[in-house]
Structure 1
């Protein structure tokens, strides 16, 4: 597919972290290294900070005026790179890693130098030394990849996207930033879809960051601008018709006990409960019924649901499938957003709701009873699409254009491998 500059410039209407929730973000790690006065051993600092646990280190919201300014600088930087011929392609034929001595390390070093991941003083050689190892990790963090220092297929694919295409991606996302930066309110929740990350922002500072799971390519998470008005503890889960048709009916054809084992009950339009054994599962007629899963450990939303008005019927929630948060590409939901450590976020949302501090919230979960809570001061929530940005001098973040909104097929790395 030929890249269209028109699509780049037109745009479409987040977070820098590439670490698991609760850890310092990629932006924080890189920023600390760049600002350090002891740049001579920056590779050692990088490894130490990249594995450091703790609270949010960088408090700059991704949709802030400062991010706009840094991204404008990044556009100028990449225009200069493109004007000088871009960067070399790195042969994707070997799994290069620390300790290897190979001719392909030469173009790798050159590529890393052009984007600023490797200092020019490191020189050109065939050795994959500690400096190259740290530079590859820095590159991986900037692209939302596991920072293992090894040149695998995803790292090669991200590295061999041309400078021209990356420039276009930055220009497209700069327009998205300009449209929303500084307009989201003084206290809000932001979901950046391509980064699969959540920010809780208050008074222009990020107070919480969470790893998220967002919609699959064929069940996309929509753009949302709403207000969180309800928290449901121990929620019932009402299966959307799309999931009933695509997932539940086929599962019932294979396993007649699926609904029983999953604690899902069937209700007719008049509210009466229906015995699954009386339903003809060979057709799609069952889609006319309501499929409701009881609260409990098997519930698709686990302990809590975060509600807000949405024409698409989406919401945020907990999940019993915690292992999914450790995946590199977290695009596994049917459109809703699953949030790691969601109880921390809910506690923050309920801060001004009388009677619902963390202790009472946890106690309500333990009862196992369905408990709706009306949020006293509804909190704005925004689901936005940002796949390229900068929140520091010389540090540019890129993510996979998972929903193909940036206008270049080269940016849809996940679906192409």
Structure 2
């Protein structure tokens, strides 16, 4: 096998914290209610104005290779050979200190930074080992950050230090672990399919082996993990009702109602008994677990926790993909805030692709998004969906990417994970 040189270039469900932030947060986690204040029926909603949706950071398809497929297997095999060479030469030394490094400064730590970036191929060795943080170092840092799922701002702070200082042998083991995972999906996955990589919190729409679009997602918290599943898109629900899961009733809704008795009314959540009859919230003893005997359903409106659309993917975990009225979390590097479901950035583009060939044009989708109309749609053919857990992948062009082992499934050790506290 011919091994190519590693290239650092890149192509371009609800939480407790969310409930305390308001209805939009109840489903999306952490975003403030102000992000969902748009009104439909002609007036602008957050869906249309929030740059975190239309801006689609991370959606670029300049890199056409999906995270699953034969090309990824080939890329990982090449990357493993390269990292074996790096490890055999002693790996790389950590970058010391905690001072924020940026363009224009002169520090001894910049010498170590240059050496580290040269070792992984992010910086050309010909740029030298100066202690000045110049434009070459700035560009290399941004490339490194992109490869590790960090916002490419060129600033070396806690999150970038943490990624830089993961040892080379640990990165090698990460590549080897994920080669096994990716090989399991190296067969035919479908002519058109969706893959969501949980550690990357990113979704790809793939057609004929090429990525058509990429979408940033928000996925499960560490204590409410998104599952690995293989399923298919069953149907699309526009302006859906949202039924509050029992886990959220227990952990979030009951405590919320104890402090804010009018919360359900303000957020258009209705209560139904076991006979399907609507009952007033006041009939429930909120100082007990009595609420678990009832069904809580949120009506379609501009602040509905599902946003404008839900993508149904049958599975035993009862998770699905959906829109959100609050887009702020799409701008974070660590997007692990849900109760297991996946919120999808620029979801209109994704559902337009899913519904290709039907009467659902992008214009018609946009029109329904401006209403409260409850409408369902089905794709011409079921679209396969794969939720996978891949923390390291590569393509044949030499692009190698790493993400945090957020759920501790790699079996490598805690150093492989950039803890959220270190990212502030």
* TM-score category (smaller protein): 0.7 to 0.9
What SS does structure 2 have at the residue aligned with 1:141? helix
State the partner residue of 1:379.
Answer: 383
Deviation at 1:185, TM superposition (A): 1.2
The separation in 2 between residues aligned to 1:361 and 1:109, in whole angstroms, is 49
The separation in 1 between residues aligned to 2:336 and 2:121, in whole angstroms, is 30
Deviations 1:46-85 (A, max 9, x none): xxxxx99996222222212111111111101111111111
TM-score (normalizing by structure 1):
0.86
Deviations 1:330-373 (A, max 9, x none): 111110000011011111111133x3222333333333121122
The separation in 2 between residues aligned to 1:367 and 1:99, in whole angstroms, is 51
| Cα contact 2:323–2:345 (8 A) shared by 1 | yes
State the partner residue of 1:27.
Answer: 10
The alignment covers a number of residue pairs equal to 371
Q: 1:140 aligned to 2:123? A: no
TM-score (normalizing by structure 2):
0.84
Q: 1:262 aligns with which of 256, 261, 267?
A: 267
Q: 2:313 aligns with which of 308, 311, 316?
A: 308
| Cα contact 1:92–1:153 (8 A) shared by 2 | no
The separation in 2 between residues aligned to 1:367 and 1:94, in whole angstroms, is 50
State the partner residue of 2:134.
Answer: 129
Q: 2:371 aligns with which of 338, 350, 367?
A: 367
The separation in 1 between residues aligned to 2:217 and 2:119, in whole angstroms, is 32
Deviation at 1:394, TM superposition (A): 3.7
The range that moved more, 367-376 or 264-273, is 367-376
Q: 1:112 aligned to 2:95? A: no
Q: How does 1:14-93 map to 2 (within 5 A)?
A: 27-29=10-12, 56-93=61-98
The separation in 2 between residues aligned to 1:212 and 1:102, in whole angstroms, is 37
State the partner residue of 2:410.
Answer: 406
What SS does structure 2 have at the residue aligned with 1:104? helix
| Cα contact 2:102–2:154 (8 A) shared by 1 | yes
What SS does structure 1 have at the residue aligned with 2:87? helix
The separation in 1 between residues aligned to 2:84 and 2:178, in whole angstroms, is 15
Deviation at 1:26, TM superposition (A): 6.3
The separation in 1 between residues aligned to 2:112 and 2:334, in whole angstroms, is 27
What SS does structure 2 have at the residue aligned with 1:176? helix
The range that moved more, 58-67 or 303-312, is 58-67
Q: 1:213 aligned to 2:242? A: no
Deviation at 1:97, TM superposition (A): 1.1
Q: 2:164 aligns with which of 155, 159, 164?
A: 159
Structure 1 ranges of 4+ moved more than 4 A: 51-55
The separation in 2 between residues aligned to 1:174 and 1:323, in whole angstroms, is 33
The separation in 1 between residues aligned to 2:269 and 2:418, in whole angstroms, is 37
The separation in 1 between residues aligned to 2:307 and 2:261, in whole angstroms, is 24
State the partner residue of 1:396.
Answer: 400
State the partner residue of 2:257.
Answer: 252
| Cα contact 1:116–1:394 (8 A) shared by 2 | no
The separation in 1 between residues aligned to 2:125 and 2:396, in whole angstroms, is 20
Q: 1:98 aligned to 2:81? A: no
Deviation at 1:378, TM superposition (A): 1.1
Unaligned runs of 5+ in 1: 1-24, 30-50
Deviation at 1:393, TM superposition (A): 3.7
| Cα contact 2:239–2:375 (8 A) shared by 1 | yes
| Cα contact 2:78–2:396 (8 A) shared by 1 | no
What SS does structure 1 have at the residue aligned with 2:286? coil
State the partner residue of 1:243.
Answer: 248
Q: 2:175 aligns with which of 146, 166, 170?
A: 170
| Cα contact 1:263–1:298 (8 A) shared by 2 | no
What SS does structure 1 have at the residue aligned with 2:379? strand
CA RMSD of aligned residues (A): 1.8
Task: Call closer, same or farther: CA 1:217–1:147 in 2, change over 3 Å.
Answer: same
The separation in 2 between residues aligned to 1:394 and 1:345, in whole angstroms, is 28
| Cα contact 1:27–1:391 (8 A) shared by 2 | no
Deviation at 1:200, TM superposition (A): 0.6
Task: Call closer, same or farther: CA 1:82–1:67 in 2, change over 3 Å.
Answer: same
Q: 1:184 aligns with which of 181, 189, 209?
A: 189
Task: Call closer, same or farther: CA 1:379–1:398 in 2, change over 3 Å.
Answer: same
Deviations 1:79-101 (A, max 9, x none): 11111111011113211111111
State the partner residue of 2:352.
Answer: 347
What SS does structure 2 have at the residue aligned with 1:76? helix
Deviation at 1:181, TM superposition (A): 2.2
Deviation at 1:249, TM superposition (A): 0.8
| Cα contact 1:70–1:390 (8 A) shared by 2 | yes
The range that moved more, 309-318 or 95-104, is 95-104
